[in-house]
Homo-oligomer: A and B are copies of this chain.
Amino acid sequence: MSRLLNDAVGELAKLPSVGRRTALRLALHLLHREPEEVSALADALTRFRNEVRFCSRCNNLSDGEVCPICSDPRRDRTTVCVVEHVGDVLSIENTNQYNGLYHVLGGVISPMQGIGPSDLKIDLLVENIARGEIREVILAIGATVEGETTLFYIMRRLAQFPDLKITKIARGIGVGDEIEYANELTIAHALHNRTEVKN
């Protein structure tokens, strides 16, 4: 096997859920593309990794000191949505249902993986709230054991702000899901938080 091909396949196979077969298919596909296109891919990846920064206010990915959302004057600055990852911001933005600010924790508390509260951007969240502009914090954290632990920890840290409204996103049956495939805890939550249907 060509050493150049082998190197390309080896590097591609380090990507998540890309095995050697897929890596080979991707590498051979690149042969059919113009060299300039392959350079554009390579440049975009290295520039992204080397130049992207984290917003000093919300820890979201940013090209500059403060991210486009935090610096947008049309966003509601009294509401902050706390999420685990950068990808969650994009998922929520895609709904077009939210106009407040975000706060990216950078993960969840996980003793198993050695991630404690100090590894997450919780102090920065408390500092932002202490400045007084924020009225509501929406905790949009995954419904996992680690997520619930993190949620509980953040609630305790925010207990020092008695006028702050703290909410968490609804747990329930996902849209498009069958009840028979949902687990008992999800069904219990969905029942407990049932909403009235007008007729």
Residues of A within 8 A of B (CB): 1-5, 7-8, 10-12, 14-16, 24-31, 33, 35, 37-52, 61-63, 67-68, 85-87, 90, 93
Contacts and interface: CB of A to CB of B under 8 A. Distances in A.
Q: 4 closest A-B pairs (Cβ-Cβ)? A: A42-B42, A8-B48, A38-B49, A11-B44
A119 B31 CA distance: 16
Nearest to A3: B63
A39 B31 CA distance: 20
- The DSSP consensus for interface residues of chain A is helix
Contact of A5 (B3, B26, B30, B48): B48
Nearest to A64: B2
Given A40-B11, A41-B12, A43-B42, A48 B87 contact: no
Contact of A25 (B11, B16, B93): B16
B45 A30 contact: yes
A149 B40 CA distance: 38
Contact of A29 (B15, B62, B67): B15
B10 A87 contact: no
A68 B52 CA distance: 41
